[in-house]
């Protein structure tokens, strides 16, 4: 596997090149900025590009757009844990980047080697993704046309829905998948939606704001005890887990300290398990979207076995099929659906 490392910091380039050199089967080359990267793109022909966002001469977003136009391939962004870095990263994902790595301590992260196992896992996963170029999401389109599907069902009157809560878990590739699921929905959707997306705290704040601005369904970051109301989606705060409880017959989501024994946070397994503890399984709808690993598969399988409805994103529409695959192989998926059909399916199910 060939990896092109693009970063304006000589220290970052040296560290990453040394780390990749220690891995058998990986050849790496470095570039000091976007212009240098484009000059080396054809001759080196990398399988994956790691691309810093903030660079002189040509920044990461401009370089990414050029890569996607000239020779699309998997790109993993490196960004700082700031609001500006989070916003630029989300823009990069819309432009075609497949994943991102948050530098733990700024533009020049002296502790970058500590997260190299995470970097390596994301680069290896990215190498398996087939990239065809950027696809900007539409803004609240009608339900995808399908000859045998009939018209888009009207949302059930609030209080008449067949479910009390929709749970969605996602990881790598999740931001794009969540846009595909949420944008067709509006404030008339009669069931609250709670989302656990593997993402740092700084990113979830910006991501919730961006989803709200671009779609019709308001998306609220869960920063404290939050009542879950119909007509809105709730995004679990990063670097924590989210817990569902009942207070005076109202559903409430609360951020709780992340379990150090869990690899991913916010944990999909934790979210689903706490929801099942306070609601009958038949009143829950759970969706497992694209992502590395198997987070969510165990809890959703138990929910399915108890009578709940679970949906796994199809392999063909997943950036990384790890999490949905784990659910399907465990026998825990009630349905397997392409991502652009999930919103329509949710509307049909909650309306009965």
Residues classed as catalytic: 171, 198, 295
Whether the Cβ atoms of residue 279 and residue 245 lie closer than 8 Å to each other = no
Q: Where are the alpha helices (DSSP H) in the chain?
A: 10-21, 34-44, 60-70, 83-95, 116-127, 174-182, 201-214, 268-278, 297-305, 322-329, 339-351
CA distances from 201 to 103, 196, 235, 265 (A): 13, 12, 11, 10
What is the spatial distance between Cα 268 and Cα 231, in angstroms, rounded to a whole number? 22
**Taking the CB of residue 50, how many other CB atoms lie within 10 A of it?**
27
Output the six-digit token pair for 138. Answer: 């539409």
Ramachandran category for residue 99: left, alpha or beta (phi over 0 → left; psi -120 to 50 → alpha): beta
Whether the Cβ atoms of residue 144 and residue 341 lie closer than 8 Å to each other = yes
CA distances from 258 to 167, 221, 241 (A): 18, 16, 5
CA distances from 192 to 91, 161, 163, 232 (A): 27, 11, 9, 6
């Amino acid at each position: 596997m060939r990896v092109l490392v693009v970063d304006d910091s000589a220290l970052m380039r040296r560290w990453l090149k040394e780390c990749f050199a220690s891995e058998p089967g990986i050849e790496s080359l470095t570039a000091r900025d976007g212009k240098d990267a484009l000059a080396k793109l054809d001759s080196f022909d990398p399988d994956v590009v790691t691309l810093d966002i903030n660079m002189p001469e040509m920044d990461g977003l401009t370089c990414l757009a050029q890569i996607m136009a000239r020779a699309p391939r998997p790109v993993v962004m490196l960004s700082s844990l700031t609001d500006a870095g989070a916003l630029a990263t989300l823009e990069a994902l819309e432009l075609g980047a497949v994943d991102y790595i948050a530098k733990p301590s700024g533009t020049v992260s002296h502790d970058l080697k500590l997260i190299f196992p995470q970097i390596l896992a994301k680069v290896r996963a990215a190498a398996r993704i087939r990239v065809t170029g950027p696809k900007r999401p539409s803004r609240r389109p009608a339900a995808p046309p399908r000859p045998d599907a009939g018209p888009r069902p009207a949302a059930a009157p609030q209080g008449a829905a067949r479910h009390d809560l929709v749970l969605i878990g996602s990881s790598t590739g999740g931001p794009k998948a969540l846009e595909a699921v949420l944008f067709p929905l509006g404030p008339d959707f009669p069931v609250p939606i709670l989302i656990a997306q593997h993402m740092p705290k700084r990113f979830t704040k910006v991501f919730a704001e961006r989803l709200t601005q671009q779609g019709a369904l308001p998306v609220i970051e869960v920063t404290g005890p939050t009542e879950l109301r119909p007509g809105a989606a709730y995004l679990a705060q990063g670097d924590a887990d989210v817990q569902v409880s009942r207070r005076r017959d109202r559903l409430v989501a609360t951020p709780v300290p992340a379990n150090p024994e869990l690899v991913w946070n916010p944990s999909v397994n934790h979210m689903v398990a706490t929801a099942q503890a306070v609601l009958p399984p038949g009143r829950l709808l759970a969706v497992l979207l694209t992502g590395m690993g198997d987070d969510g598969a165990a809890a959703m399988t138990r929910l399915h076995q108890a009578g709940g409805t679970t949906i796994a994103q199809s392999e063909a529409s997943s950036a990384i099929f790890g999490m949905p695959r784990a659910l399907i192989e465990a026998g825990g998926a009630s349905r397997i659906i392409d991502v652009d059909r999930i919103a329509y399916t949710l509307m049909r199910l909650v309306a009965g």
